[in-house]
Amino acid sequence: MKSTGTVYLVGAGPRDAGLLTLRGAELLARADVVVYDALINGDILALAPPSAEIIYAGKRSGEHAIPQEELNRLLADKARAGKLTPDEMSGGTFTISNMGMLNVENFSAIINPGEGAILAVASTLPQPAVRDAQLVIRQIMKMTLSVDHRLIDGALGAQFINAVKAKLEDLELWKRLSA
């Protein structure tokens, strides 16, 4: 049994099977699970092997077959189920590199060939911070986002990293997730 899996997001533009990349077709042809939305072209879905579990997620405005939170859990569970071997874990578009687990204070990750971006996550360390005009010690984690500017505008990258920061700092979100 495989110990890990990978989730790939494969798209082909506005329902045009001709816009599907060769890599996207290759991934679909060996998929264990395909989660698709209302905009998929039937020719693309036909590339999935007969043994693949096919899951319709809906995703038309205001009309979702599976709520987004449930879809996120479904995809994570499928990845954890270990459907792919290590040599099959390539071809993604985004990587998260966690050197924090190795007590690395800060680092810059290099974008993997063929990918658009990589997020470098360092360890949390006690640091002085100002909170309500008082100097306090807080656990601070450094993150660095590297993007291929041929694909992703730097301003969009900045918006993304600020959104990640906001989610990580949202105490109410963490309370809901841990309940």
Q: State pLDDT tens for residues 12-36.
A: 655 667 777 787 888 888 888 888 8
Strands (E), the chain: 33-36, 53-56, 94-98, 117-131, 134-147
Q: What does the pLDDT look like over 29-61, one tens digit per residue?
A: 888 888 887 767 788 888 888 888 888 877 666
For domain 17-88, the question of CATH label 3.40.1010.10 is answered with: yes
List the chain domain ranges. 17-88, 94-178
Q: Average pLDDT of the chain? A: 79
Residue 125 near residue 105 (C-beta atoms within 8 A): yes
pLDDT band at 89 (very low <50, low <70, confident <90, very high): very low
- Top CATH class of 94-178 equals alpha beta
Q: Up-side HSE of residue 70: CA atoms within 13 Å toward CB?
A: 9
Rg (CA), the chain: 19
Q: What is the pLDDT of residues 152-176, one digit of tens each?
A: 888 999 999 999 999 988 889 888 8
Among 73, 80, 149, 165, the one annotated catalytic: 149
Q: What is the mean pLDDT of the segment spanning 64-81?
A: 72
Active site residue 149: yes
The pTM (predicted TM-score) of the whole model is 0.51
The predicted-structure confidence for 127-138, as pLDDT tens digits, reads as follows 999 999 999 999
